[in-house]
Copies of this chain bind each other. A is one copy, B any other.
């Protein structure tokens, strides 16, 4: 974390008052506002292949408790990413599916997923390189 002191000149710092940059910051903050927390994005990905039932979502995500899952699904419903449908079977069946609007997130999800996959590979590769010293 400690960086050696450098003797070069000072870099000019003017980017912070660019309106373009400010708009970009607002943009990502707006996006993060509705996609906040640990679960929203994984949940949307889990539902992206088709409707799932409550228990199936739990199994899919592996370690989410029903309380948290319930809360997250409600928030996704409020933001029009998810539709909850109840079928009067016995016992009752409830499915959750993505709305058409949630599809506008497809590109975001794809880029995030691709980046995460390459990042993991990078970490693994650098670990191997270190252990072979």
Contacts and interface: CB of A to CB of B under 8 A. Distances in A.
A86 B16 contact: no
B49 A21 contact: yes
Provide the main secondary structure of the chain A interface. helix
B117 A23 contact: yes
Copies of the polypeptide in the assembly = 2
B116 A15 contact: no
A130 interface: no
Interface string A76-97: 0110000111111100010101
A1 B78 contact: yes
A27 B112 contact: yes
Interface of A: 1, 3-11, 13-18, 20-32, 34, 36, 38, 41-42, 45-53, 56-57, 59-61, 74, 77-78, 83-89, 93, 95, 97, 104-105, 107-109, 111-120
14 contacts: A1-B77, A3-B86, A11-B50, A13-B50, A13-B56, A20-B49, A21-B49, A24-B109, A25-B46, A25-B61, A26-B117, A27-B114, A31-B112, A32-B41
